[in-house]
Amino acid sequence: MEFIETDLDQILKHKIDFTEHHMLKIIYSSLCSLSLLHEANIMHRDLKSANILLNSDCSAKICDFGLSRTMPESS
């Protein structure tokens, strides 16, 4: 299992200063992860700041798939 330093919720609670570059990288990485889930027909259903894990280079990973469901294939 991979070690991830923190999550977005902890970063926001401690009011760490972000540069615009950091925010854009976190948002872009989160949206890319979400897009990959939707391409695989997976709906997360519990997406919140505590479920977005962050590395020191601001790359985001989505976790906690306990409520996730597969979406029906469209024909």
9 catalytic? Reply is no
Model confidence at 46: pLDDT above 90: yes
Structure tokens at 68: 């996730």
62 Cβ partners below 8 Å, 6+ apart? Answer: 30, 33, 34, 37, 44, 47, 51, 52, 53
Report how far residue 54's alpha carbon sits from residue 26's, in angstroms, rounded to the nearest whole number: 8
Average pLDDT, the chain: 92
Model confidence at 75: pLDDT above 80: no
User: In this predicted structure, what is the pLDDT of residue 17?
Assistant: 84
Q: Which of 17, 46, 57, 64 is catalytic?
A: 46
